[in-house]
Chain A
C-alpha cells in the first residue's frame, strides 16, 4: 500500500519559527535604519551651521584684522571673539563624549535663529565651537568649525567639521 505523507505539526511549527525569525530580523534592520535616519535628518542643518561658523570668524577677521588662537563658542551675533575661559565645550572622538556641552549649545531662539543658548540645560541636539590655530611662518590663521549632533535618546555622537585658512584680501 502506497503511503502519502504530508507535513507534520512539528515540521509546520519549525517552518513558522524560521519565518518569524526572518521577519523579526528584517524588522530589527528597519528599526536600525530609522535610528540612523535621526542623524540624516539633521545633516543639512549641521553642515550649514559648520559653514556659518567659518563665515562668522571670517567676518570677524575681515573687520578686526586679527584673531587669537583658541577655542570659541560663537553665533551670528558675535562681533569679536569672546575672552577664553577654562572648561569649554569639546568633543572626544575616541571616547565619543561631549564635554561641557551646555557651553556650546546651539538652539533656535525666540526670533527663529540658531544661536548660542543662554539656558542652563545641556541636552540639545546641536553644539558648535570653532578652533583657531595660527601657523608661525607664514602667519595664517587656520579655522576649524565643529558641529556635534547628539541624539537626546542616547547613542553615538555625530561630528561635522570643516577647516579654512584666513587670507587677508587687500
Chain B
C-alpha cells in the first residue's frame, strides 16, 4: 500500500503556507524599501561629511573670511594668498580659486567658470541650501549644508563652525 498526501492535505498545507507568505511579504517589502532609501541617505551623509571636512580644513588656515552672495557663499584667502570662494551653483557646491593678490574680497559666485570645481555631484543628490555665518565678536565661521535626495524624500543637514587661525 502506498501512502502519501491526499489532495485535501496538500491543499491545507499550501493554503497555510500561502497565508504565512502573504503575512510576511509586506514587512519584507518594507525592509527592502527602507534599505534602498537608507543607502541613498548613507551616500548623501558620507559625501556631505567629506565636503564639510574639506572646507573646514581649508578654512582653518585661511584669512579674510567673508560671507558673500547674502550668506549663500564664502570667500577667503588661502594659505598661499590666493582667493578661494565656495558657492552654490546649479544645486552643487563649487569651489572657485583665483590666484590674485587683491586684499578686497570679491563675490566670485556671480562669475562661475565654464567648468567649475564641483565638490558635490547633482546627479547623486542635490544641495538645496548652503549658508555661511560669521560671528563678528569671536570670528567664528559657521557653515551649514542641506542636501536632498533626487526623489525629494530624504533630507540631510550638516553644520560645522571653524575658527580660522589667521584671523
Please determine whether B13 and A62 come into contact, CB atoms closer than 8 angstroms: no
- Report B13-28 residues with CB < 8 Å from chain A CB: 13, 16-17, 20, 24, 27-28
In this complex, how many residues of chain B approach chain A with their Cβ under 8 Å: the count is 42
Partner of B38, one of A31, A41, A45, A108: A41
Partner of A51, one of B129, B133, B160: B160
Which candidate, B93-101, B106-114, B116-124, B138-146, is the interface stretch facing chain A? B138-146
1/0 per residue B143-167: CB within 8 Å of A?
0101000000000111111110000
In this complex, how many residues of chain A approach chain B with their Cβ under 8 Å: the count is 43
Q: Tell me how far the C-beta of A159 lies from the nearest C-beta in chain B, rounded to whole angstroms.
A: 19
A123 within 8 A of B: no
Q: List 13 A-B contacts (CB under 8 A).
A: A12-B5, A12-B13, A34-B34, A44-B49, A48-B158, A55-B140, A55-B161, A56-B138, A58-B163, A59-B135, A59-B138, A63-B137, A111-B131
A-binding residues in B (CB < 8 A): 1-5, 9, 12-13, 16-17, 20, 24, 27-28, 31, 34, 38, 41, 45-46, 48-49, 52, 129, 131, 133, 135, 137-140, 142, 144, 146, 156-163
8 nearest A-B residue pairs (beta carbon): A6-B4, A79-B137, A59-B138, A76-B142, A59-B140, A59-B163, A52-B161, A63-B138
